[in-house]
Structure 1
Amino acid sequence: MNQLKKNILICLQDIKGSGKFASIRTADFIFPGLEVETVGEVAYPINQFQAKALIQVAHKAPFGKGSQTIVDNNVRSAWEIDADKLHFNNPNWNGFLGKAIKNIKTDLGLEDYTVTAHLYKLLIYEEGDFFLSHKDSEKEKGMFGSLVIGLPSQYTGGELVIRFDGNEVTADFANANPGHTLNYAAFYADCDHEVKLLTSGHRVCLVYNLVQQKAGKKIEPQSLQSYAGRLAGLFVENNTPNNPYIILLGHQYTPKNFSEDALKLNDRAKTEALLLAAKQAGYYAKLCLVTSYLAGTPEYDGYYDDEENTEMGEVYEEYLSIEHWLENELPAFDEINFEEDELLTSFPLNEGEPLIKESTGYMGNYGPDIMHWYHYGAVMIWSPEMNAELLYAQNAATQLNWITFFNRAQKISDAEVASVKDMLTEGLKGRSRSDEKENFNAVADWLVNRNEKVFLTKLDQERLQFFFEKIDSDHWVKLFQFLPVENTTIVFEKIVGDITFPVLEKLLGVLNTMIDTGTLKSITLQQIALLPDHFKKLYANTKRGISAAALSDLFQLAQIPTEKEWVKTIVEALTKNTQWEYIHNMLVPKLLTAESSEFTEKLLSFCREYLQQRIDNKPQPPADWSRPIPDTTGYSAQWKILKTFLESPDETVFDFRKNQSERSKMELAIKNVVIDLKTETIKKGSPHILRITKTQDAYNRLMKSWHKDAALLENMK
């Protein structure tokens, strides 16, 4: 296996994209017409008086440190002016930018991509200024690099050194002919770069963010097919791979800006070759981000002075995982964890700057805990047999997404077929993320596509009821049309055995959908005839009502000519233990909008009688101010104190002057029961008084319900 990995990496090392990691060019001078607010238009070459005037309106240039932006002259010493203070009076300046971007696209291998330059800052370096090696942060969506345009001025030093993957180039604008040329350098944000110490004069430059817009056609060198063929042969050389091939590309990417169009340098060509190779080998392939997480303590040299930029000392936690998947025709997996020796990489992990740094901060005399996240672009390639194994560890939503994919696929392996059967029999119950939608209709499509006519009949009752609730009514009709009549009968018998409310509600919806399907009408009528037994059984000892959707389905089914006993039994069940809230909020509103039938009229008649009876028994206010002691075992001491007050027909206020602890206990005793008492704290004197006042809340609640009854009954006339 080690030799196989080595051969794959050797093949990938030979794949080179069409671009370089930096573009350094010189162009004929054109007046930018650059005007700086409060300074005026800049003349060229920029002399020391203009440079100092620019510094007067500038501020010290900060740099990114973890999630913060800070100023530290030991890391970066320079001045900057924000883009909103800069204006260009020469309309030809945009033409210069367009030509520069065209050259940059050629150098960086982006000919088929739409790239724009967004002005970011004007930078001024004076003698002694510098910027230590760093990577540019992604300052806006789609940003993939930076463009630095040197404005003519006299200076020495200040070389821009750009490094990537062991290679280095230098943009030395100080040696150019000032006043006659414009010099610029563009590079990927993933490159390390620094500005060397300025030894004299002033270095002034414009900085733009390079932003990649929607891409055109992908770069596809002619050699990719041959590389793909070699790679495909290597993949299938190992007939039974124990793990997926997880192949790291050359760059890190933020999850927000990771896309196939945003791949940098050779990553594009390598990705294309790998995807082609997987297809040729009959394997699956998916672009992803490999996350390397490290948590540890900083290197200790006697004191902690820089909690985020200090070197990590002892690492006490680390893991590798794939959490971010790029969308394509394949469903994404859940998070996959693995060991470092399972990776295929040509470079060591966790060297250089991580994309994300966090720190817990200082804790007394102890240094902070430091967390680093590296996000490497990668391609995962795996066989259909390995896919069958991976599916077992996924949550229900992911498994169902794969079943949906299999329903569209022309061919899947025997191992994958077996894994789906196992999931249908015992799986698909794992917890999915809250943002994932579980598509159980894929199960119905699978059974039809695979011509599984007896599978459902062999499931145990609990499992079958689980699927019955999850699959929508239209797909159940599709299934029943597919199954032989005798198998459909068996399925229904299992579904309604030990019926539950969720199953009953779903059954009403399925039958309502089936009734319009001619081939299923006979069996539908049989099941409708059994509904009274289901209602009678479920409503024997419950006050629960069925949902609004289920009521609508039931009213529709009641339009079918049925026996009078059918109507009587279900009406009696629905009205046996009906609660006030259900009648007001569910039953009557649905009845008022339903099509009239014997069934709905009987329910309406019951509701009218129920409401009239309540109206005829109008609540009466309490005869006096005595209130019953609540039937509770809690706070017995407090209720003993209040006993005489509650029993009194005349007293309405009780002042309880005690310390805060005793007042709090009394308040809790009152809050924990339903009783006509309210409390307030009188903060006069010491200790304070908890004033307890009798109310008529119970009577007011009854009257509020009575008025609602009257209004609803009036609406039913």
Structure 2
Amino acid sequence: MDLSNGETSELTFAAFYADCEHAIKPITQGSRVCLTYNLLQRGTGKKNKPITAPLYDSEADRAEEILEQTFQKSGAPAKLAWLLEHHYSPAGLSFSGLKGRDAALAKVVRHAARRAGCALHLGIVHIEESGAAEPYFDMDYGCAPTRGRYYDDEDNDDDMVEDAEGGDDEFEVVEVFDSSRHIDQWIDTNDQAVEFGSLPIEEGEILPAAGLDGEVPDQQRLTEASGNEGASFERSYHRAALVIWPQDRFVDVLLQAGPAAALPYFKDRVKALNSLPAPAADRRTVHSIAERIIAVWEATRNGDYRRRDKESDRSDMIALLGQLADAPLLERFIAGVVTREYDGSENQAMATNVRGLVGPIRAGQLLSHLAIENMRFFPTACVNLLWRLTRELGLESTADWIAASREIGAAIVRALPDLKQRKPDRPDRDWWRIQKAKPVDDTTVANLLETLATLNASTLRDAACKSMTANPKVFNPATLIVPVLQLLRERNGDAVLSDKEFQRLWAHSAEFLLARSEQPPQSPKDWRQDVKIVCRCDDCRELQAFALDPATQTHRFRVRKERRQHLHQQIDHHRLDMTQLTERTGSPQTLVCSKTRATYERQCRQYNEDLASMAALHPLLGETEGEVQRLRARMDAARQRCAPGLIAGDRRQRRSNFCGEKTIIGFEGEGLPLDFCCIRQAENRDCREDMLLPAVNSLWLACAAYTRMRDDDVERRKGN
């Protein structure tokens, strides 16, 4: 409708009801005035009584009868979704905001549902289809212009709106290959959002049956034919609907979307049951709901639903079963669901509710089996569960509960030797769950040792320490055991000094560090890299000769692409310290390999880290006799050995202007390490002495200023 008018003395206007679909184009010139008002119609009788909306009593009675008959039939649908006429956004969807006939329909269905014992909600129905299509051709323009474009009836672009109105006129649907239907964005009769998730729609559950015939899709795309594939289409509809189902099937309908969708409803029922004295029939009903939820949970696995269960869902279910005080169902849920899907988020809920509902014998069986099944990927979580359980028991621990806790601890300790450092990429269909597993840390080990000590399980502590010392890849003495010992000393003070297991772990860490870093790494004297390449092709023989050459640092391989790839694979497979760059000039191109000091630099970093670990380990045990004292003396010697000597590394590397070689020297002055570049005259005969001495003196002065060494100490070091 064009309301533009060139005559300034005239006013062009349009009037329409507010619930009519309309769109107003942007005003480019002039002004737009909108007048909004209410129309009231009064009767003509003497009382002048205003006309009110109809009550629809007879319609509600008829709707009640239809609902009862429909849901009582054999093979009746689980739910019904009646599509509304108007378009509503998810944010604006509410019973109070329905318009025209939609509001009247909702009023009738609301009364009928209450009488028929049905639940009523609003939701957004999503229907998505794709398949083969046959485009219509225009004699003047060829194929339909809508090909390969998206259409949205909310788009403000004029051409897009016109194309969308064309609907299926631009192509003919040959066959629907894929179709999906679901409902979400739930609103209850109090206009409150409800977290039911995405419920699938089965065949025959949408009414009217032909409600979308002739309707323009909200989104539509036609893709032209290419190669051997014909034209295809994609389209989707998004419509608001009244969704209704019997109250006695409430949980069954929600379980179509998975167990998590039924938890809010189950939570409300448990809360209502515990708030007031409830009849035995209501209690049996709630227990039946819990059984159905657990049965569906047992029969499926996480990830089988459109909305994957949240981490807290299992914890919520455990807490609800605890509030319901149903020990058999709690045991069943832990054994059948939690053990299979465990990731540690359930620990607090299990520790709290198992103590109150499940007896110690059964608790020991359940949780020890859980630990056996999950220690491989969740050792930290399993130890945390035992730690939380002992904290929940506290001073109330009886002999039976101590025995149950020891049973769980034994399952954990038996699994320690089989722990591996790396997790598989995709061990099974639950790979996404296993990605949440945390590596063993110092808190986990300290909690395990302290918990076993609390349980007086000395045999288990001894076995745990033996497993840790035998598996240094997982229980690394430098990066894990030393922090564990520090944490135990911090928590327990001098009491740990007489602990046999503490002393064993201390000695194990000291021996490990000394075996690896008692002597500083030796700087390589040339560029030789010892390697034996199995492949005997010409390129690999040339590569091996280059690796063994002590004088050559760079070599060029001018070979074809597949041969360059072969060389890349051999270098990576044998872990040669070489950079690999391709000069993309000429044909064939050239692979330039340059030797590096990567292995030596790694050794230096590890050496410096081990010295720091020795420094942290040394004071954890006081002055003692025997083997401990000898280990302390060796660590002292190892730490002192590095102070005046060379410690090669890779921090703050600088290239010398004289010899062109990187050499890092570390000194300890007042406890602060200092790395700087030293020029070695012996390794570069081209450097003149009169150039070297001023540079060396400058470096020494910078070193002295940085570390605030005493003047006499500087002179002593210069003399050395």
Deviations 1:490-510 (A, max 9, x none): 434544566733565444323
**Which residue of 20, 25, 32 maps to 1:206?**
32
Residue 330 of structure 1, CA deviation: 4.9
Aligned to 2:314: 440
Q: Quick one: which of 194, 202, 218 aligns to 1:338? A: 202
What's the offset of the Cα at 1:193? 6.5
1:206 partner letter: R
Q: Is the 8 A contact 1:255 1:324 kept in 2?
A: no
- 2:8 matched to which residue of 1? 153
Q: Quick one: distance in 2 between partners of 1:451 and 1:547?
A: 36
The corresponding residue for 1:314 is 172
Q: Write out aligned runs for 1:192-591 (5 A).
A: 206=32, 223=55, 231-240=63-72, 242-243=76-77, 244-255=79-90, 257-260=92-95, 262-275=97-110, 277-295=112-130, 296-302=133-139, 303-307=142-146, 309=163, 310=166, 311-315=169-173, 316-317=175-176, 319=179, 321-327=181-187, 328=192, 330-339=194-203, 341-345=204-208, 348-360=211-223, 369-384=232-247, 386-387=249-250, 389-390=252-253, 393-398=256-261, 400=263, 403-408=266-271, 410=273, 411=282, 412=285, 416=289, 418-427=291-300, 429-432=302-305, 436-438=309-311, 439-455=313-329, 465-466=339-340, 471-492=346-367, 494-495=369-370, 500-502=375-377, 505-515=380-390, 516-517=392-393, 518-530=395-407, 533-544=410-421, 546-547=440-441, 550-551=444-445, 553-554=447-448, 556-558=450-452, 560=454, 562=456, 564-579=458-473, 582-583=476-477, 586-589=480-483, 591=485
After superposition, the Cα gap between the structure-2 partners of 1:189 and 1:586, relative to the gap in structure 1 and judged at 3 Å, is: farther
- Aligned ranges for residues 43-82 of structure 1 at < 5 Å? none
> Helix, strand or coil: the match of 1:206?
coil
1:247–1:378: 8 Å Cα contact kept in structure 2? yes
Amino acid at match of 2:239: Y
Q: Determine if contact 1:548/1:586 at 8 Å carries over to the other structure.
A: yes
The question of 1:616 aligning with 2:510 is answered no
Change over 3 Å in CA distance of 1:542–1:447 after alignment to 2: closer
Which secondary structure state, in structure 1, belongs to the residue aligned with residue 327 of structure 2? coil
TM (norm. structure 2) is 0.62
> Residues 422, 499 of structure 1: CA spacing in aligned structure 2 closer, same or farther, 3 A cutoff?
closer
Paired AA for residue 510 in structure 1 = L
CA distance in 1, matches of 2:181, 2:201: 4
CA distance in 2, matches of 1:275, 1:352: 27
Residues 478/684 of structure 1: CA separation in 2 closer, same or farther (3 Å cut): closer
- Tell me: CA distance 1:512–1:679, structure 2 relative to 1, closer, same or farther (3 Å): closer
What amino acid is the match of 2:122? L
Aligned partner of 2:436 in structure 1 is none
Q: 2:582 aligns with which of 681, 684, 691?
A: 681
> Does residue 125 of the first structure (1) align with residue 4 of the second (2)?
yes
Structure with the larger helix share = 2
User: How far apart in 1 are the matches of 2:529 and 2:221?
Assistant: 61
2:679 matched residue in structure 1: none
Paired residue secondary structure (2:454): coil
User: How much has 1:297 moved relative to structure 2?
Assistant: 4.2
The aligned amino acid for 1:454 is P
CA 1:223 to 1:358, structure 2 compared with 1: closer, same or farther past 3 Å? Answer: same
| Structure-1 separation of matches of 2:375 and 2:17 | 65
Paired residues, what number? 530
Q: Which structure's relative contact order is higher, taking Cα pairs within 8 Å and 6+ residues apart? A: 1
Question: Partner amino acid for 1:237?
Answer: Q
Deviation at 1:440? 0.6
- Give yes or no for contact 2:315–2:349 (8 Å, CA) kept in 1: no
Matching residue's letter, 2:347: D
Q: 1:330–1:405: 8 Å Cα contact kept in structure 2?
A: no
Separation of aligned partners in 2, 1:490 and 1:462: 13
Given that 1:384 and 1:413 are in contact with CA atoms closer than 8 Å, whether structure 2 keeps it comes out as no
Q: Residues 380 and 507 (structure 1 numbering): CA distance in 2 closer, same or farther, change over 3 Å? A: same
Equivalent pair of 1:611/1:713 in contact (CA under 8 Å): yes
CA distance in 2, matches of 1:603, 1:209: 85
TM-score for the superposition, normalised by structure 1: 0.62
Q: 1:694 aligns with which of 574, 595, 607?
A: 595
Question: What is the DSSP-based 3-state SS (H/G/I as helix, E as strand, rest coil) of the residue aligned with 1:234?
Answer: helix
The one-letter code matched in structure 2 to 1:693 is S
2:158 match: none
Alignment partners' CA distance in 2, 1:687 and 1:320: 54
Question: Taking every aligned residue pair, what percent have the same amino acid on both sides?
Answer: 16
Provide Cα deviations, 1:637-689, integer angstroms capped at 9, x if missing partner.
64233122222233322221223443343234324542111122345554432
- The one-letter amino acid paired with 2:411 is H
- CA deviation digits over 1:17-69, x for unaligned, max 9? xxxxxxxxxxxxxxxxxxxxxxxxxxxxxxxxxxxxxxxxxxxxxxxxxxxxx
How far the C-alpha of 1:377 sits from its partner, in A, is 1.0
**Are the counterparts in 2 of residues 246 and 380 from structure 1 also a CA contact under 8 Å?**
yes
What SS does the aligned partner of 1:562 have?
Answer: coil
State the alpha-carbon separation in 1 of the partners of residues 544 and 502 from structure 2: 51
Hey, what does 1:62 align to over in structure 2?
none
For the residue of structure 2 that corresponds to 1:247, the secondary structure is strand
The answer to whether residue 545 in structure 2 is matched with residue 644 in structure 1 is yes
Provide the rounded CA distance (Å) in 2 between the counterparts of 1:665 and 1:367: 42
Q: 1:486/1:705 Cα in 2 relative to 1: closer, same or farther (>3 Å)?
A: closer
Distance 2:333 2:229 in 1: 60
Distance 1:548 1:430, change over 3 A: farther
Cα offset, 1:408, TM superposition: 3.8
Unpaired runs of 5+ residues, structure 2, are 37-51, 150-162, 274-281, 422-438, 620-720
User: Which structure has the highest strand share of the two?
Assistant: 1
Q: Which amino acid aligns with 2:145?
A: D
- Decide whether the 8 Å contact of 2:200 with 2:256 is kept in 1: no
For the 8 Å contact 1:615–1:706, the answer to whether it is kept is yes
Distance in structure 2 (CA, Å) of the matches to 1:621 and 1:520: 59
Report Cα offsets for 1:151-206 as digits up to 9, x if no partner.
x8356xxxxxxxxxxxxxxxxx64xxxxxxxx5646658715799xxxxxx99652
In structure 2, C-alpha distance between the alignment counterparts of 1:399 and 1:460, rounded to whole Å: 18
C-alpha distance in 1, partners of 2:463/2:380?
A: 17
What is the CA RMSD across the aligned residues, in angstroms? Answer: 4.4
Separation in structure 2 between the aligned mates of residue 562 and residue 505 of structure 1, nearest angstrom: 21
Structure 2 Cα separation of the partners of residues 461 and 424 of structure 1: 12
Where 2:594 maps in the other structure, the secondary structure is strand
Kept in 2: contact 1:679–1:691 (CA 8 A): yes
Cα distance 1:668–1:346, how it changes in 2: closer, same or farther (>3 A)?
Answer: closer
